[in-house]
A and B are shown apart, each in its own frame.
Chain A
Amino acid sequence: MPAENDDNELEKEFLWIEMAKKDPKSFEPLYNKYYEQIFRFLYRRTEDVTLTSELCSQTFYNALSGIKRFKFQNKPFGAWLYTIATNELRKHFRNKPIHFIIELDKIRQVPDLGIKVDPREDLLIKLFETLSPEELRLIELRFFEDKGFKEISILLKEKEGTIKMRLYRLLERIKTLMEEAYEKV
């Protein structure tokens, strides 16, 4: 997405946020823009529609309740929503492991990963278990959520170049691990 479009989007969001600070009903455009993204993020970690709806509602409730304290820092509002949603997940699951859905259709579309058409599920799960939470989030944002590098860099609070390099190295590592796993089988 060109930088100008990004700036326009941010400007729009800034206006929506300022309006929502004065009138909660003006929160609607932000809600409509981010509801599905946050729903997907939560559903991938719960695989439960009812629970996801509850956590999603709570996320937006917390966001709207705290919007007067929100300071716009030239970053998408979504970054803050993801932080709230992550906190809601942590509160809900506490020390229990969080669920994570690996989307096969999406992962197959990444040729650099070297994942076969019908990979053995146990191998794929073992592979994902080797990823750190940060690496998993990077894979999720880039391939499951189809986000651009600029947006990812904002969400992960890192430079765009660093993100590209990290992803390149990560893909190389996954490819090697995948090839080794298939050789052993």
Chain B
Amino acid sequence: MRRYRFSIRRNLFEQGISGRHKDFNEFHKMYASRKRWETSSRIILVLIGSLIILGIILYSVYL
């Protein structure tokens, strides 16, 4: 099976995007926001899990 689909260009950035450089501050903002989101979703998941377990325990006690 062919692993690559080759094409030929004079140089890599024929369309003039050479030197494209993403700003680190922008990257850091994105990183911090994703990390916050990951932490929040983890906390929410733990809370939901705990509530379910608590619900099961209370239900079994009730029974």
Contact = CB atoms under 8 A, between A and B. Distances in A.
The majority secondary structure among interface residues of chain A is helix
Interface residues on B, range: 20 to 34
B46 to A, nearest CB: 19
Nearest to A125: B6
A124 B2 CA distance: 16
Interface size class of A (residues with CB under 8 A): 35 or more
A128 B20 contact: no
A28 B26 CA distance: 11
A61 B6 CA distance: 29
Contacts, number: 89
Interface in B5-21: 5-13, 15, 17, 19-21
A105 B3 contact: no
A128 B4 CA distance: 9
A135 B31 CA distance: 35
B7 A101 contact: yes
Given A61-B30, A101-B6, A103-B9, 12 more contacts: A25-B28, A28-B24, A35-B22, A47-B7, A49-B17, A61-B31, A61-B34, A97-B4, A102-B8, A106-B11, A128-B4, A128-B6
30 contacts: A24-B31, A28-B28, A31-B24, A32-B24, A36-B19, A39-B20, A43-B13, A49-B20, A53-B22, A56-B22, A57-B30, A61-B30, A61-B31, A64-B31, A65-B35, A97-B3, A97-B5, A99-B6, A100-B6, A101-B8, A102-B6, A102-B9, A103-B10, A105-B11, A125-B6, A125-B7, A128-B4, A128-B6, A136-B4, A144-B12
